[in-house]
Amino acid sequence: MGSATVPRLTAEVIGTAMLVFFGVASLVTSGGQAFIGAVAFLVTAAVAVWVFGGHFNPWITLAVAIKGALDWVGAAIIIVAQLVGGVIGALFVWAVTGSKGVNDGLGVTRLSPDIVNADTGFITAILAEALAVFLLCCVVLAAGGGTNSGIGMGLAYAAGTLAIFAVTGASLNFARSLGPDVVMLFAGEKADWENFGRLWVYAVSGILGAALAGLLYPLWRPSAEVRG
């Protein structure tokens, strides 16, 4: 299991659940206001890292593994824990917002209709998400863990949300996108995977952004220490 100890996995599940709950719930209850979501993600990421320690995001874990600071088996197990945490967080959103939250989409990340209908729309969406994920992962790699990592992570989430929310819904975190989609199924609604949800866009862009961060970051910070 490598770095995937029971305390680490517990922290990843709880921390991811908290990040998804407060971030997504703020969007649902505010009617999808990007600024409020950005503030919620900023504060929650900073607090979650301070309290639990961890990545709470499969793309961050992937970037750290690519950089070589985390073994691949441990990374895979941690990512599974994060995805479970994302579903739990979305379940709490459903529990708090009820049918209104479900009717409003439960914070599912959707691509802008303009993006979907454009000839190069999916390329634009992938580029936007990949750049946001790249920045987020580089910030965490630079911070190297601890309180600074949480603050940096939160600021990167906020910047990404404000920059691309109108384009892609600002996922930046596959657990944040997968959780609400799965819970919509639990609520008896059709998942948005075949319409504007397009989970594959978030998967491809996230892998691309994380891979670029893990490969390129050591070029300008070769001696930086990163906690897996």
pTM to 2 decimals? 0.93
DSSP character at residue 156: H
Q: What is the pLDDT of residues 130-156, one digit of tens each?
A: 999 999 999 999 988 777 889 999 999
C-alpha dist (Å) from residue 145 to 148, 183, 199: 7, 31, 29
User: Domains in the chain, ordered, with CATH?
Assistant: 6-220 (1.20.1080.10)
Token pair for residue 156? Answer: 């990167």
Token pair 């970037």 is found at 63
Is the predicted pLDDT of residue 1 greater than 50, yes or no?
Answer: no
Q: What is the pLDDT of residues 35-92, one digit of tens each?
A: 999 999 999 999 999 999 999 999 999 999 999 999 999 999 999 999 999 999 999 9
Half-sphere exposure of 168 (CA within 13 A, CB side): 32
Token pair for residue 186? Answer: 């639990």
pLDDT of residue 168: 94
Contacts of 91 (CB under 8 A, 6+ apart): 179, 183, 186
Q: What is the mean pLDDT of the chain?
A: 91
Q: What is the pLDDT of residues 165-207, one digit of tens each?
A: 999 999 999 999 999 999 999 998 876 655 545 889 999 999 9
Residue type present at position 7: P
pLDDT of residue 198: 80
Give alpha helix (H) positions in the chain.
6-29, 34-51, 58-67, 72-103, 113-117, 121-143, 147-168, 174-186, 199-220
